[in-house]
Amino acid sequence: MSLKNTTIPAAVIMSCLAQPLLANETIPSIQLEQDTETVIITTSRFESDVNQLPSHVTVITKQEIERLSATDLSQVLRRVPGVQVSNTNGKTSVSMRGISAEQAGSNVLVLVDGQRLNKTDLASPDIDTINIIDIERIEIIQGAGSSLYGDQAVAGVINIITRSGKKQTKTLRYAQGSFEQKQAAANLGFQLDEQWSVVLKGNKKTTDNYRDHNELKNNQLGAELFYQDNQQQWRFSHRTRNETQQTPGALLDSDLGNPRQSRPEFANDYVSTDEYFSRVFGQLKLNSQWQFALDINHQESDIQSINSFINFATSNVNQTRRSQSGIYPRIKGDWNTDNGPMQWIAGIDYDKAEYQFSLLARSNEQTSESVYSQFYWPLSTKLQLELAGRLAEVEDQLSDAALYPQGIVLDKSASAYDIGFSYQLSGATKSFIRYSNNYRFAKVDEQAYTSDGVLGLEPQTGISIEAGVSGQFESSSLQASVYQLKLKDEIIFDPSATPPAGAFFPGANVNGSESTRLGLLLDYRYFIDESEVGVSYHWVDAEIDSSERIVPGVSENTVTSWFDWQLTSDISWFLEAHHRGDRYQDGDTTNSFAKVDAYTILNSALVWRFDNARLGLRVDNLLDKEYIDYAQFNGYYPAKGRDVIITFDLVF
């Protein structure tokens, strides 16, 4: 197989991608699930006690994001054990629990205020478009969430909660840094009367990025109207995004002497996106025991792009159009018992998506329907049982010029269930054990490129078993767990599979062999007055069972350690060391390509607070280390060099 042929599958797959402040603040670092006062949404799709779910829940607060002087989500998520961050062409993907970056968009569910960012094609959730100053907190559920969230919640759920109008906070940001980075952003909350409030938000960002031919221009506007009284709350949201980005493409090994370059065949490549999101969310208190919630959302995107391959330039302008709508009614019942509160949640999820891709005359109309239920039962004052389950069906009406020119209807179904126990060892220490069944359905790109004679891929299914302990002590905190994630009929692209008739590159999407991931997660923090020393660690042994080969794209060891020091009441300094171990290139199921080397980088941030202003200086890759962030089929994507950015925020 020639090098040219081995790089084309990656390019073809990727061608489908869319592409009030106080001076004496103390450190409010990452809140672990043992914080009994933390109320979160992601564990039940209602506001709930963080201790309920027998799993690790990480809550990252707005205050911690500010202390990191963070300007994008990758800087924040990199610290969370079990999370691996990769970057291609200036776009970030987030994987969890031994899932590769290539598969992350299909197996890790990303939400913004409960609205899905995951797509029905192979495009990854675009977390780079989320403005940091809009975020109130980030809730991360480690482990399978299929019972509660259905498709794609195999390895975990990341829910980004944005600010509401209730706090009336107004934030203005200006940022400028390396690679011609400039950003002007606003998040303005206003209280209209006792019940009504509004948030207006905007973001304008430009950068050349690190690579040549990688200029990005992003403009966003949004508005949210809130109503709340003693019995109900409503949220009406709308936001738009217009973005144009040049895409520098992959490099060959021989090109890496100049990692900033872009090969000449990518000189005309770009992605231009127009997108909007709308959402209506309401929650009503029916009586002292029952609540009802209704979530209706819709999103559309119109994408133009030119996508060349290594050694094969093209000038064809591709059109991709997506439309996704969801209706999610649900109820919650609460009852007091001698052992504590008992809770039952049930709901219906209805999703409809339409997709068109001009290059391959590919289109799809997908309808998904499911019902789910979740039950929390306190067996004693310390021991709680969780039971949950979901039944789901999906129908794809698919057309593809090569494989299904006359169209085909594919019907699939799947189920998920959880059983878990959490035990309160003391007021601030908890242990848990959980068994989960999970699934995901094949995406449109996967269904439309299968081996000759294969009419649709079966749903991927899996079993997750995890156990852990967490606790907060007088001057420290600990969060540790072990897990096994076993996937059956895993949906992957296999370059050695028989391609469909008329294919112009080798390989096909297949239901692969079983794979098993054994892992350990650790998060330890030690507090010194208002300062913090911490380390997070993820070890995973990810193997393809039939061959005992290593799952590609997965590092066995990932470690992040940091020191967050409150120098004075107004100044804090943060230093972080992040290490990611070597791994096989994404897509390399035979483990036959050269490995991607391990790397260690240093990141630092300095923050000054005065009156109602905040000045931040952040430096990523402090030592200007050259390393590869992502590689697939001998196509390499170099990471950024030293990246310096200054932020100035006004908060009033």
Query: Domain with 60 in it: what CATH number?
Result: 2.40.170.20
Q: What digits encode the pLDDT tens for the residues 116-137?
A: 999 989 888 989 889 999 999 9
Per-residue model confidence (pLDDT) at position 52: 63
- 3-state class (DSSP) for residue 256: coil
Per-residue model confidence (pLDDT) at position 160: 94
Q: Are 61 and 39 in contact (CB under 8 A)?
A: no
In this prediction the pTM is 0.92
Least confident of 92-101, 243-252, 551-560, 598-607: 92-101
Residue 550's domain spans which residues? 3-651
Q: Which letter does DSSP use for residue 317 in this model?
A: P
Residue 5 has pLDDT above 50, yes or no: no
Q: What digits encode the pLDDT tens for the residues 364-378?
A: 999 999 999 999 999
Q: Read off the pLDDT of each residue in 523-535 and give the average, rounded to a whole number.
A: 95
Q: Are 218 and 191 in contact (CB under 8 A)?
A: no
Q: Read off the pLDDT of each residue in 64-86 and give the average, rounded to a whole number.
A: 93
Q: Are 29 and 327 in contact (CB under 8 A)?
A: no
Residue 445 has pLDDT above 50, yes or no: yes
Q: Which residues, including other chains, have CB under 8 Å from residue 489's CB and lie 6 or more apart?
A: 457, 458, 459, 460, 461, 511, 512
Q: Read off the pLDDT of each residue in 268-277 and give the average, rounded to a whole number.
A: 97
Residue 158 has pLDDT above 70, yes or no: yes
Per-residue model confidence (pLDDT) at position 513: 86
When divided into structural domains, the chain yields a total of 1
User: pLDDT band for position 1 (50/70/90)?
Assistant: very low
Q: Read off the pLDDT of each residue in 212-229 and give the average, rounded to a whole number.
A: 96
What's the sign of the alpha-carbon dihedral 588, 591, 592, 598?
positive
**C-alpha radius of gyration, the chain, whole number:** 24
Q: Read off the pLDDT of each residue in 467-478 and give the average, rounded to a whole number.
A: 93
Q: What digits encode the pLDDT tens for the residues 7-26?
A: 333 333 333 333 333 333 33
Least confident of 35-39, 338-342, 417-421: 35-39
Residue 56 has pLDDT above 50, yes or no: yes
Length of the chain: 652
Q: Read off the pLDDT of each residue in 391-416 and give the average, rounded to a whole number.
A: 95
Residue 491 has pLDDT above 90, yes or no: yes
Per-residue model confidence (pLDDT) at position 418: 96
Per-residue model confidence (pLDDT) at position 164: 84
Q: What angle do CA 278, 279, 280 make, to 5 degrees?
A: 140
Percent of the chain with pLDDT over 90: 80
Q: Mean pLDDT score of the chain, rounded to an integer?
A: 90
Candidates 320, 241, 252, 332; CA nearest to 286 is: 332
Per-residue model confidence (pLDDT) at position 634: 95
- 3-state class (DSSP) for residue 304: strand
Q: What angle do CA 434, 74, 651 make, to 5 degrees?
A: 110
Residue 317 has pLDDT above 70, yes or no: yes
Per-residue model confidence (pLDDT) at position 260: 96
Count each helix (H run) and each strand (E run) in the chain, helices first. 6, 36
Candidates 560, 552, 550; CA nearest to 521 is: 560
